């Protein structure tokens, strides 16, 4: 260790690796992972969220799982819950859609309406 800079670099890198252990003031992406969700491909969706967030260096979002929401015909389902409690429910997802949600909703703050439950119900 020759400088503080070096220490800071290690710190930054390590913080990213353990960011998942901090869940205060974080946006959450909750993926439905009941039998129906898993059968419809929720695991790929969840992994796509994790990978995309990581690729974009976003560590203020945690990806978690939940059980069956009840609208199994819309699986895979994921909800984005922002720190202010605002909730957006996305349905019939796949890995590609998950990546778009990260890009548009998480990065740019614009929910992807065409994937929401509201759009699907119409």
Partner 1 sequence: MIYRSHVLICAGTGCTASKSADIEEALHKLLVEHGIDKEVKIVKTGCFGLCEKGPIMVIYPEGATYSKVTVKDVPEIVEEHLVKGRIVKRMLLGDKEARDVAKSLENVGFFSKQKRIALRNCGVINPENIDEYIAYDGYRALAKVLTGMKPQEVIDLIKKSGLRGRGGAGFPTGLKWQFAADAEGDQKYVCCNADEGDPGAFMDRSVLEGDPHTVLEAMTIAGYAIGANQGYIYVRAEYPIAVKRLNIAIEQAREYGLLGENIFGTAFSFDIDLRLGAGAFVCGEETALMTSIEGHRGEPRTRPPFPAVKGLFGKPTLLNNVETYANIPVIINKGPEWFTSIGTEKSKGTKVFAVGGKINNTGLVEIPMGTTLREVIYDIGGGIPNGKKFKAAQTGGPSGGCIPASHIDTPIDYDTLTALGSMMGSGGLIVMDEDNCMVDIAKFFLEFTVDESCGKCPPCRIGTKRMYEILEKITQGKGDESDIEKLEILADNIKKSALCGLGQTAPNPVLSTLQYFRDEYLAHVREKKCPAGVCKALVQYVIIEDKCKGCTLCAKKCPVGAISGELKKPHTIDISKCIKCGVCMESCKFKAIITQ
Instruction: Give, as one character, the DSSP assignment of residue 86.
Output: -
Contact call for residue 33 and partner 1 (CB under 8 A): yes
Determine the size of the site formed for partner 1 (CB under 8 A). Answer: 36
| CB of 48 closer than 8 Å to CB of 99 | yes
Q: Which of 85, 88, 97, 2 is nearest to 45 (CA)?
A: 97
Q: Residues 60 to 119: which contact partner 1 by CB under 8 A?
A: 62-67
Half-sphere exposure of 51 (CA within 13 A, CB side): 11
Q: Which is nearer to partner 1, 66 or 116 (CB)?
A: 66
- Evaluated on CA atoms 57, 61, 63, 68, the torsion sign reads negative
Among 40, 50, 69, 93, binds partner 1 (CB under 8 A): 50
Contacts of 47 (CB under 8 A, 6+ apart): 95
Q: Which is nearer to partner 1, 3 or 108 (CB)?
A: 3
Among 45, 46, 93, 106, binds partner 1 (CB under 8 A): 46
Residues that bind partner 1 (CB under 8 A): 1-4, 7, 10-11, 13-18, 20-21, 23, 26, 28, 30-35, 38, 46-47, 50-51, 54, 62-67
């Amino acid at each position: 260790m020759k400088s503080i800079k070096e220490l800071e670099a290690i710190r930054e890198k390590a913080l990213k690796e353990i960011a998942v252990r901090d869940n205060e003031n974080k946006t959450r992406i909750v993926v439905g992972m009941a039998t129906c969700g898993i059968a419809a491909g929720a695991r790929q969706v969840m992994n796509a969220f994790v990978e995309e967030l990581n690729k974009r260096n976003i560590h203020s979002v945690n990806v978690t799982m939940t059980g069956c929401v009840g609208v199994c015909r819309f699986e895979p389902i994921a909800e984005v819950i922002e720190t202010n409690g605002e909730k957006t429910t996305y349905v019939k997802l796949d890995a590609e859609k998950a990546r778009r949600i990260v890009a548009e909703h998480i990065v740019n703050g614009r929910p992807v309406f065409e994937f929401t439950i509201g759009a699907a119900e119409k």
